Amino acid sequence: MEYFVKSGNPEKQRVACVIVGVFDRRSPTDAAETIDRVSDGAIATVMRRGDMDGKLGSTLVLHNVAGTFADRVMLVGLGKERNFDEAAFRKANAAAARALRQTGAIDAVSYLTHLPIKNRDFQWNVSQALLATEEVFYRFDECRGAKFREEIQPPKLERYTFDVPRRSDLPAGERGLAEALAMAKGVALAKDLGNLPGNLCTPTYLAERARQLAAQHSAIKTKILDKAEMEKLGMGALLSVAKGSSQPPKLIVMEYLKGPKNEKPVALVGKGLTFDAGGISIKPAAAMDEMKFDMCGGASVFGTLTAIAELKLPVNVVGIVAATENLINGEANKPGDIVTSMAGITIEILNTDAEGRLILCDALSYAEKEYEPSVCIDMATLTGACVVALGSVASGLFSNTPALARALLAAGEQSGDRAWELPLWPDYDENIKSEFADIANIATRGGNGGGAIIGATFLHRFTRKMKWAHLDIAGTAWTGKKASGRPVTLLVQYLLNMAAKKEQD
Ligand code: BES
Ligand code: MN
Ligand code: ZN
């Protein structure tokens, strides 16, 4: 599908479908009012008859509306006018996309992008409308058989135009379109990788996809560290997890260095656990299949790099994905085992299922040593406790740098890919003391609570020298059995804001 931004009158569009909003209490938007006027009250009539009450997310498709040049006019319910906020805007656009998918329309012009949202501009409107639409149109059919795939009907919609009120709004709309297209590409890649099952999406497969990314984008350079190289670096924590699996681990490094030469990069470090059975501290069978999503932090690194390469953003970013499985064999980690991390900190592994922090600590040390990043952000499906704390709405955010936390929270609000900050107070350091090693990989005191904070506290031991943030995406990286592509939009928005701020300075 191709997207466009235009500025024109709703009644004059020669397209298969024109989309206009109506608030509840039969109160039409300007575009709906225009159509109503030229059609001698076609919209007022259906509302009076009770076929469209303006409830948020409801839709009604009208055919051959008099006075217009369009085959169809779609009414989209917007709810109460005074409650119309960012979430409602996304819902209305998603509803329009779902209804559009049910029609035979090959092109459409939407006037939902005219709707004013407090503190937002037309760049935001177009961007969010496009992202909401792509969310609806995404499918994952890679694992279906040949027959099924042959019968898949591609969407009929080929051209989708978001209208803006004035010609002077076009540049803002175009910017929103370009940014959102790149974000959507990144999100789709993160979803594809996340949805792939563990037997196909192995560490070796991810490494191969990283090489492909470098082949597609000349700005991206890939370096893959294998087991021997990790041994040389002393990554005893990461390698201890990998030992329990026959799949060789990979440390995937992707460099995108298009910013000023002397500027230190932003490091994005992702947990790429391609399947987490828990190891000897094995997980219960119910929903264990979902542990194929334990590489979604890594997938978000792939997605973010794709998006910024598409946008040719003038920034320095290095993506690092620690990829391995957490399984069980005769060599697997055992509770009580003690390993030495790359940082030299020894770790007592009291629960082999707390493996994410074991692979991340070495990846974070590598980022610090190799790149001295200006900022380091890790993304990980780290703890079930984070799902308990925040559910699937917000990712958990931890940071040792308040300005970085603020920038990430703001990027989350702006993109709709939100995070919520949890504390990283030194009071929690006590909890990971070990009887025998420098630290333990789970809490040994302080009770069983605050699991997401304990995970972050562990990682913080390895990131003291960096401006660092940790996103626990355990509740947000997938919902139901589907990868969400989060937090790609948050990260891309953060980098866009960073690049824009630099331009001002
Ligand atoms: N990948 C899991 C975390 C997870 C669990 C994410 C459920 C999403 C849904 C992680 O490796 C893990 O197993 N964490 C343990 C840590 C515990 C042993 C301290 C957990 O959360 O139970
Ligand atoms: Mn685990
Ligand atoms: Zn895990």
Q: What is the pLDDT of residues 303-328, one digit of tens each?
A: 999 999 999 999 999 999 999 999 99
The residue from 98, 159, 283, 433 that is catalytic is 283
Q: What is the dihedral of CA 449, 452, 454, 456, to 10 degrees?
A: -160
pLDDT at position 381 is: 99
pLDDT at position 292 is: 98
Residue 473 · residue 296 · CB < 8 Å: yes
Q: Whose CA is nearest to atom 5 of ligand 1?
A: 384
Can you tell me the distance from the alpha carbon of 417 to that of 267, in angstroms, rounded to the nearest whole number?
A: 20
pLDDT at position 105 is: 98
Please list all protein residues whose beta carbon sits less than 5 angstroms from ligand 2, which is an ion: 276, 353, 355
Residue to mutate (ligand 1; options 271, 383, 428, 459; most atoms within 8 A of CB): 383
C-beta neighbour count of 328 within 10 angstroms: 16
CA 293 to centroid of ligand 3, rounded, Å: 9
CA 323 to centroid of ligand 1, rounded, Å: 16
CA 177 to centroid of ligand 2, rounded, Å: 39
CA Rg value for the chain? 25
What residue ranges of the chain have pLDDT lower than 50?
Answer: none
Q: Each residue of 97-115: pLDDT tens digit?
A: 999 999 999 999 999 999 9
pLDDT at position 59 is: 98
Residue 283 bears catalytic tag: yes
Ligand nearest to the CA of 277: 2
Ligand nearest to the CA of 451: 1
pLDDT at position 454 is: 98
Buried b (16+ CB within 10 A) or exposed e, 244-282: bbebbbbbbbbbbebbeeeeebbbbbbbbbbbbbbbbbe
What are the pocket residues of ligand 1 if the criterion is a CB atom closer than 6 Å to any ligand atom?
A: 276, 294, 351, 353-356, 381-385, 387, 442, 451, 474
pLDDT at position 360 is: 99
Domains of the chain: 2-177 (3.40.220.10), 196-504 (3.40.630.10)
Ligand nearest to the CA of 387: 1
Residue 465 bears catalytic tag: no
Q: Each residue of 2-58: pLDDT tens digit?
A: 999 999 999 999 999 999 999 997 788 999 999 999 999 999 999 999 999 999 999
Residue to mutate (ligand 1; options 353, 388, 439, 448; most atoms within 8 A of CB): 353
C-beta neighbour count of 350 within 10 angstroms: 19
Residue 22 · residue 111 · CB < 8 Å: no
Can you tell me the distance from the alpha carbon of 383 to that of 291, in angstroms, rounded to the nearest whole number?
A: 12
CA 302 to centroid of ligand 3, rounded, Å: 19
Can you tell me the distance from the alpha carbon of 18 to that of 161, in angstroms, rounded to the nearest whole number?
A: 10
pLDDT at position 173 is: 98
Q: Whose CA is nearest to atom 13 of ligand 1?
A: 353
Residue 241 · residue 324 · CB < 8 Å: yes
Q: Which residues have C-beta within 8 Å of that of residue 503, sequence separation ≥ 6?
A: none
CA 427 to centroid of ligand 2, rounded, Å: 25
- Give the H/E segment covering residue 4: strand 2-6
How many alpha carbons lie under 13 Å from residue 377 in its C-beta half-sphere?
29
- Give the H/E segment covering residue 191: helix 170-195
The residue from 357, 418, 461, 486 that is catalytic is 357
